[in-house]
Structure 1
């Protein structure tokens, strides 16, 4: 677990909040990709997976630990920024943290406002789709079991919410 001060996490939340409000024509994630890839890479889930995001906003597009600096917050590697499903950056950082459960839990706690919503859960499925696809090419293969497990947890939450919502 990276040792990061409370202020670092506050700065990250503020940066993601400010970034999400930026208007742009740039695209980080395309709807056509979601329509094609999500059914394929999430086929192991029980039932049809939605491919339409509840909301879109501007994202860094590649937010993982190698693109973050500390102890003062720094966010690097901006060439992929653009619109993505809301919560995408938080979901990506969380997914890349799954190999270390303590870190993943800390990310979930710190970014709960972004992840614990319909949009955040959808963003998690988007990121899991992308990472499962990249694992097929040999990248981050060690994350596959944790990604599949997390997809199941998110899917359970989505389907449970659908049943209980009037």
Structure 2
């Protein structure tokens, strides 16, 4: 509770002072400055920095939003039963975020190229040069979402990413709950059911699979590989025998 601002939430961050990654360290402050006030997210009402020895600290004070976080961790394990109004608000928020110009970067193209080749093969990133990039929240899973009224939490890593990155992230972390994953695909079909959306899914799948090599997100490995196989099959195009008579078409859009 703050005498000036009422009910608030305090976030504390720390880092060795000579190892600060400014993209994440300043993400919340830059989000407050640059993103539309209409986006449903906690308002950052105060920020204070200090150091002690070789450590840097930051305290961020936010408005306390009503509702509940929809999952205890990034990987969804129980169904998220949400009203149509929540999904409509999410679609509107993702469209608004993607329209914001920024020089910030959520993920590097060179990293995506490496992990897509490593985990999915050359077919997965063959059209990366033409892949559109837009602004993304950068960490969109149900542990960073509030309901029944939508709020988006944790803006540390927002920035430029493959178009559809947020929708693809939400879907990837939902695969252990098929009903919710299907709901994500249905509600965000205007993003995911496009060449750019397919590329974004393959990018996110590769990124999460890469985390499994460090012992993280292991439960998602097989569902992600099955989803990637389905996407790669859908984007493979006609067989060589039929390509000669097929009309020319564009391929999937592509630290």
Shorter-chain TM-score: what band?
Answer: over 0.9
Counterpart contact for 1:34–1:52, Cα < 8 Å: no
Structure 2 equivalent of residue 68 of structure 1: 145
Counterpart contact for 2:116–2:124, Cα < 8 Å: no
Structure number with the higher strand fraction is 2
The match for 1:87 among 164, 167, 179 is 164
Mapped to 1, the partners of 2:227 and 2:187 lie a distance apart of 18
Structure 1 equivalent of residue 176 of structure 2: 99
The match for 1:116 among 193, 214, 226 is 193
Equivalent positions of 1:13-162 (< 5 A) are 13-43=91-121, 47=123, 49-50=125-126, 51-52=128-129, 54-160=131-237
Mapped to 2, the partners of 1:19 and 1:49 lie a distance apart of 25
Given the superposition, is the C-alpha separation of residues 56 and 149 from structure 1 closer, same or farther in structure 2, using an over 3 Å criterion? same
Structure number with the higher helix fraction is 1
**1:159 counterpart SS class:** coil
Displacement after TM superposition at 1:48 (Å)? 6.3
Mapped to 2, the partners of 1:36 and 1:140 lie a distance apart of 19
Displacement after TM superposition at 1:32 (Å)? 1.1
**1:134 counterpart SS class:** helix
Displacement after TM superposition at 1:136 (Å)? 1.0
Mapped to 2, the partners of 1:113 and 1:137 lie a distance apart of 33
**1:69 counterpart SS class:** strand
Displacement after TM superposition at 1:8 (Å)? 0.4
TM-score by length of 2: 0.61
Counterpart contact for 1:39–1:48, Cα < 8 Å: yes
Mind listing any 5+ residue stretches in structure 1 that lack a counterpart?
none
TM-score by length of 1: 0.93
Displacement after TM superposition at 1:149 (Å)? 0.3
How many residues were matched structurally? Answer: 164
- Deviating beyond 6 angstroms after TM superposition, the runs of 4 or more aligned structure 1 residues are none
Mapped to 2, the partners of 1:12 and 1:109 lie a distance apart of 13
Given the superposition, is the C-alpha separation of residues 114 and 48 from structure 1 closer, same or farther in structure 2, using an over 3 Å criterion? closer
